[in-house]
Amino acid sequence: MDAPTILFQDQRFVVLDKPAGLPVHAGPSGGRSVEDWFGVLSRRKDGPWLAHRLDADTAGCLVIALRHAPLLAAQAAFASGEVHKTYWAVVQGEVSGDRGTVSAPLRRVTSPRGWHMIVDPLAGQSATTDWQVLGRANGSTWMELRPRTGRTHQIRVHCATIGTPIAGDERYGSPGGGLHLLARAIHLPLDPPVDATASPPAHMLGALEQCGFRG
């Protein structure tokens, strides 16, 4: 594997720019994953560890803890909702309005085709996402999304719930062109804080530029 792109690094953490399509863990059948880089990031016996996770098809900021004490601090910050995460997505369709909030509880279900998340107001776990439109063009919308909670596939399901699935989302929308979802920035309010920002991946650039992005 090529060397990882590092967005932030100190003695406690590394924030990687995770490529789209690379899982954080090797699957049951093996294969490449973010964990293959752990030996390059640190030679200590107590680490590294993933401080959180991203979907395999999501690109962008992924926090790796290099030591155990920082790992626990990061996990506590994620659990308490203190971590600020910003995502960019290009969705299919025109979003109504310029900003808003989606509150739709989510539950995991399993079918013969595999598992996925559904909105379930009665049995689902609470899930809330704030969103803002950054640009529009040709039936697509460029959105900035800030999840208040960290449910699996939260942003993907919430975008689909309001009628505008993320472009390239094979599970909740339409396949083709790769998932247009970027973990754009992350802030961990530790002492000292951890801040990182990722640039859009190549497969998203065309759609973003049509919506007004200028890198």
Give catalytic status of residue 130 as yes or no. Answer: no
Quick: pLDDT tens for 59-70. Answer: 999 999 999 999
Name the pLDDT band for 30 (thresholds 50, 70, 90).
Answer: confident
- Using the structure block, give the residue that is written with the tokens 């752990």: 38
Angle at 81 between CA 133 and CA 87, to 5 degrees: 30
Question: Which positions ≥6 away from 197 have C-beta within 8 Å?
Answer: 7, 61, 184, 185
- 17, 55, 57, 169: which is the annotated catalytic residue? 55
pLDDT at 176 over 90: no
pLDDT at 163 over 80: yes
- Rounded mean pLDDT of 177-181? 96
The rounded distance, in Å, linking the Cα atoms of 165 and 169 is 7
Domains, in order of start, for the chain:
6-210 (3.30.2350.10)
Beta carbons of 143 and 86 less than 8 angstroms apart: no
The rounded distance, in Å, linking the Cα atoms of 192 and 194 is 7
pTM greater than 0.85 (yes/no): yes
Q: Name the residue among 162, 160, 159 with its Cα closest to residue 143.
A: 159
